[in-house]
Structure 1
Amino acid sequence: MSEITYVRGDATAPQGKGVKLIVHVCNDLGGWGKGFVLALSRRWPEPEAAYRRWHRERAGNGFGLGAAQFVQVGPYLWVANMVGQRGMRTGSKGVPVRYEAIDAALGAVAVRAGELGASVHMPRIGCGLAGGTWARIEPIIERRLISAGVPVTVYDHG
């Protein structure tokens, strides 16, 4: 079994050859305005537009915690909008991150990455504004993606 590759760099400019899938965590409120999503939106308008439409039409389209939406932004490049946090702020119910939702969404990512023959690229998902810890996220990535044979690169801004 391979391991997660850690690099310094920008997850919106994934390294390597072949089809790439950039993965990040969204909230369940339809909000898109802070954190990694801003870097995505600076590069491509499609992921934000697709996410907002997905949320707006959520009555019958599967939008919710644990869901993943795949948006093609280039011939060999996709973005996965994963709904992995409830709300946007830490409050009486704790931090917004929902590990079980990230787990479920990464299951969908593993399937799509397999279909596309893609490698997966991400910042330290769930650990910024979502308030999660990498010690809880990393084993989920290993179980869902690495054990399925999907190459994963995690980017730390340097």
Structure 2
Amino acid sequence: MKPTIRYAVGDATAPPGPGPRIIAHVCNDIGGWGRGFVTALSRRGPEPERAYRAWYRDRANNDFGLGAVQLVPVYENLWVANMVGQHGIRRVGGRPPVRYEAIEEALGRLAEHALDLGASVHMPRIGAGLAGGDWARIEPLIGKQLCARGVDVTIYDLPDG
């Protein structure tokens, strides 16, 4: 049976359970880090931000760009996947920064990492916060790129209050 998306109330930066786990989130393509989910990630440790900023700085010599994924080890059996899925940080001509095709591409790359590591994937509602995306368009991409390939996914919503 193929995994389905599981929803949980909790903190996506601290996924519970045994085994390898990947925390996935969406980044922008302009090197900006400092609002939204990334602030919670940075409170847990400096590695994801440090790696993202270095990846961006050296973008002329690497794969940084829409659809790319950077896997950053943070603890034993825990990684953060920096997925580039938004263009800029502001609406332009009424269009939000989210890029669904880039998120889909990044999720496909994330699936390969997760399968190689035997890892589950944990995330907030990626692309639907500051990126301005529609969760109803993003959720099926997660199902197609991760669950359909056998990757367990948990989506976290923060508790009310």
TM-align CA RMSD: 0.7
Shift of 1:20: 0.2
* Residue 129 in structure 1 maps to residue 130 in structure 2: yes
| Pair 62,93 (structure 1): closer, same or farther in 2 beyond 3 Å | farther
Shift of 1:93: 5.4
Unaligned residue ranges in structure 2 (runs of 5+): none
Question: Corresponding residue for 1:39?
Answer: 40
Query: Which range moves more in the overlay, 91-100 or 80-89?
Result: 91-100
Unaligned residue ranges in structure 1 (runs of 5+): none
Distance 1:77 1:110 in 2: 15
AA of the residue aligned to 1:96: P
Question: Corresponding residue for 1:157?
Answer: 158
Distance 2:92 2:103 in 1: 20
Question: Corresponding residue for 1:18?
Answer: 19
Question: Corresponding residue for 2:6?
Answer: 5
Q: Tell me the SS of whatever aligns to 1:14.
A: coil
Distance 1:101 1:60 in 2: 20
- TM-score, normalised with respect to structure 1: 0.98
Distance 1:94 1:6 in 2: 28
Question: Corresponding residue for 1:66?
Answer: 67
Shift of 1:17: 1.4
Distance 2:45 2:88 in 1: 24
1:61-100 alignment runs, 5 A limit: 61-92=62-93, 94-100=95-101
Q: Tell me the SS of whatever aligns to 2:132.
A: coil
Q: Tell me the SS of whatever aligns to 1:33.
A: coil
AA of the residue aligned to 2:51: A
Q: Tell me the SS of whatever aligns to 2:109.
A: helix
Q: Tell me the SS of whatever aligns to 1:124.
A: coil
Count of equivalent residues: 158
Distance 2:64 2:141 in 1: 21
Distance 2:121 2:128 in 1: 17
